Each structure stands twice: as C-alpha cells, then as structure tokens.
A and B are shown apart, each in its own frame.
Chain A
C-alpha cells in the first residue's frame, strides 16, 4: 500500500479551478518533486494534503486514513509535516519554544495540570525540553536556543523551520521551495542536507521547487503542474526532454 495516495483531487477557488484531477501514489522512502510555473497550483496541493484547504472533490489517504475533512493539526498528528514558501516561524518566540510548540500533540497532560503545574507537568516538560534541545543540537542550532527566532540569519531560519517540522515526528515531509533565495553554492549544500535528513529521520519527501538544479539533482520522480493540471510525470531526464513541459515553462514553439 502506498504511504500517501491522492485520487483525482480537484479544488476550486470560487469558479477558478486551482487543482484538477491530481493523482499521486507515494511509496515509503521516495523523494518526489512537484514543479511547474508560478501559479500552477503546487502550493495548493500542499495545502490540500495538510488540511489548510478542503478538497472540493477526490480523496487523499495517508496509510489508509482519509485526510480530506481533517483539520491541519489532525493531519500533522498523523505524521505529515511541512515547511513554507515564505518562512513562517514564530518570530517573537525563542528558537527553543519554536521547536517545543511542534511537540504539542505529543504532550499528554491536561489543562488542570497546566494551571497548577502538578501531575505529569514536570516530567513531560522536562522530556519536551530535552527532546527539543537534542533536536536543535542535531541541526547545530542549540547555541541559539534562547534567541528569538526573528534574530537568526536567513539560512538558519530555513534550517530551524525544517527542525521544527521534524519535531512533530513526521513520516512524510513536504518542503515548499526550500531553496528560495539561495545561491548555487548554498543549493549544493541544501541537496546534501535534504539527502541527510531523509536518511537520518527515515523520511518520505515531497519537494516543490523552482530551482531546476536542485530538483534534477535529488528527486527520483517528478510531477509537472500547469494551470492546476498534471501535464507530465516521470524521471527527471524524461521531464527535461518533454515538449509539453518546455512549452509550459518557455511558451509555445513557433513553427514558421
């Protein structure tokens, strides 16, 4: 059984069809890229999977659980985490708190225990702090634990966002344009980094990206969207040669 399965998922914004008939069978451990011009509906696909939008039609299942209709926090608790195209950290909170918040669903104590700091509060909080700091150390961010997230340099903010996503203990990670604003050298490092977290955290990854260098370098399989429709899918080298993809990116070929 595939880890994530999307069956003819369609989504409308009013009369505009943002995603039409999207299908995906994702096996455990795969690294799949979704590419396409601006406004092709890539981020909408992520929003549909994570429950930010509710698909107008179709079904998305994770390990057999239906995701359509669930709230984002329930989807996350099922093991799907994501990062954002524009970094969305909790800016005015500390780096440590950013990661601790992502442990929310793994903490079991009740509201009463939190009002009076009794019962499981102490043990659970100690565990969350320990796990969060250990995770930050893995990402070499532990030195910044007590700094506000907004004071980190851009590259570290990107890294923290991934660390925060992994704190929710996902099996599937959705990366939305992780290479935005990076130079070619940084992109090479990012490729190694993505390969490394995939091994280290035993992840299945879907990647949205514009940077062809990154996509062609690490994705095993690509899907190409244009105006919400899937226009091509296959191995990176096949996609590169696909005339429909070239057309979507570069415009129609004029035959004279």
Chain B
C-alpha cells in the first residue's frame, strides 16, 4: 500500500499541535505549581530578579485575586458590581489594625496569615450585609447600590479617628512576601474554580443566563447570589489585606472608585466568565501599566484607548466565556466521554 505523504505542517498548525499537547497534559499542572512555589521562595532569597520586579510580581498576584473575585459577580453571575474596592478596604483595614495595633510586633510574621484571614472574613461579612438588600434589585440598580457602598466605606473610614481618619494608617510592616502572594493566589483560583464547577456555581451561571428560568428549574437563586457575593467579597478582603502589607501605608483615598474601576478594567480585558481570562487580564493590565511608565502622562491615554479597541473588536474580553482546559475539573471535562465509553461497554456486554 502506498504511504500517504503528509504535506509539511505550517507554523500555525505546529503551534496548534503544541498547544493541544500542553492544554491536554494535566500532569504539567502540579509540576508548575511546585516550581512556582519554589521560585516564589528562591526569588526573594537570592534576589534572582530586582526588587522592583518582585514588587510587580506581587501586584500581579493580588490583582489576579481581585479580578477573579469580581469576575464571579460580573462575569459568572452577570450582575454589575462596581464597588469592589470597598471590600478590599475592609480587608486592608482589619488586617492593618491587627498587625499595627493588636498583634505583638515580633509575632507578626507568624500571625500574618491570621490577619489576612480576618480581613477576608470581615469583608465577607460586610459583603453578606450588602448583598441581602442589594439583590432585591438588579442590573443598573445593583451598580448604584455597590457604588454607594464604595463611597460609604470610604467616608466611614475617613471619620474614624482610631484608624487614622483621612490620614490613614502609616508604618504597616511589610509582611506580604512572594510566597504568601503565590499561596493565596493559588488558593483563590482553586476555591473559585471549585465553586463554579459545582451545583451552587451552576446555579450562579444560570442566573446570568435567565433568572426566571433558573428559578423555575428549582435553583435557589437567592442562596446562590448570596453565596457568590460573600465568596467574592471574602477574596477581595484577602487581596486588600495582602495589598496593605505590600504598600505599607493605606488611606481611604487608596480605595476610592478609581481602584474599583481598575478591577473592572482587568475583568473586562481578560474576559468575563473565565478563570484563565481573569489571570490574563490582571497580568496584562498590571505589567502593561508598568511597561508604559516611561510614557508618563500618555500612559493614561493609551490604556483607555486599548480598552476602547478591545470593546470594539472583542467585546467579551480576551477569553470571554471560554476557558483553558486546565481550569476545568477532569471529572467535568471528561463527563460525556466517560459516559459514552461506559454505555458502549454496557451495550457490548448486552449483545454478547
């Protein structure tokens, strides 16, 4: 038999093949995680890259957590929350008060995870309190409610002298390290991914698609919304706590509506309803802003321009509503294929 000769592969096909190989090889994922964790320890230890780049790496991680948590509301649930910096502020202030006023200074490195966790839990509780009344409204109205919430948080903090009022909290110890950022980022990605690929997460998705149909398909939409909002504010609080301990100085002004806008931009840049997109969006936005620093003022002209172009040509963002296979649980990814295999095996057994 004559051998069929394959035409030489084009570069595009080669790249596609390579990508297929990477995307379907799930054993790579734990290896990457271990390597990443090791690097996060080694980089600061041996100063593999300069401290400025290390700082940017930490901001990338923190922004990934923020973007993911907002994507849960704006992307997966299809609501429009614009006050995310408010929850960040809650987490930042709670943790900063703990590390500067309550915990003993020399115990701080050990108690830091507790401070971060407390920031997250505090933000989650506030999130729950905000969610209960605001989810009686929808769409544009929720945007107004969350906008108001952002302003309320800012003015409340400005008026509490015990936490510095408008002057903020200076001299926060620099406790956020690269390993901590790495660990919290991986945890955020993992937990939010797990939530999305669960019964409750599917409830959240169905709310985005059609809330009335969702309700009529037995989904407890109220519970799903509260869960998503609480989880989202929890991670915003975690990110805020990490942020405060990198910046070492926080004031109400840091958490104004502009900060919320940054998070929104990262969500819509990376793509709504996508974990891979959130990671890409946060990384690209953070790094691009730094790379464009030499442009000075023009940077603030270029960035919005990028956004306008993005909305014109890819209105759903880079990865809108699509996902890297790595982030889909294997049981979910393979559900149909496994079922077919089992069915065929069953049919074969029945016919023999």
Contacts and interface: CB of A to CB of B under 8 A. Distances in A.
Interface of A: 50, 52, 71-73, 76-77, 81-82, 84, 88-93, 96-97, 100-107, 109, 111, 113-117, 121-122, 124-126, 128-130, 133, 137, 142, 145-146, 164-165, 167-168
Contact of B205 (A73, A97, A130, A164): A97
Contacts, number: 120
Interface in B192-219: 194-195, 198-203, 205-206, 208-210, 212-219
B217 A145 contact: no
A101 B214 contact: yes
Contact of A145 (B209, B218, B336): B336
B335 interface: yes
29 contacts: A52-B212, A73-B219, A73-B221, A76-B216, A77-B218, A84-B213, A88-B212, A92-B209, A96-B335, A101-B202, A101-B203, A101-B205, A102-B217, A111-B195, A111-B200, A114-B195, A114-B200, A115-B195, A117-B329, A125-B332, A126-B331, A129-B332, A129-B335, A133-B336, A137-B343, A142-B336, A142-B339, A165-B217, A168-B217
Given A76-B218, A100-B202, A168-B218, A90 B195 contact: no
A173 to B, nearest CB: 12
A107 B215 contact: no
A101 B227 CA distance: 16
Contacts of B332: 125, 129
Contact of A101 (B212, B217, B336): B217
Looking at chain B's contact residues, the main secondary structure is helix
Contacts of B218: 73, 76-77, 102, 104-106, 168
Contacts of B212: 52, 72, 88
Interface residues on chain B, size class: 35 or more
A96 B215 contact: no
Contacts of B321: 92
Given A104-B220, A111-B200, A145-B336, A72 B215 contact: yes
Nearest to A124: B199
Contacts of B339: 129-130, 133, 142
Contact of A107 (B194, B199, B213, B331): B199
Contacts of A105: 218-220
A165 B269 CA distance: 36
Nearest to A72: B215
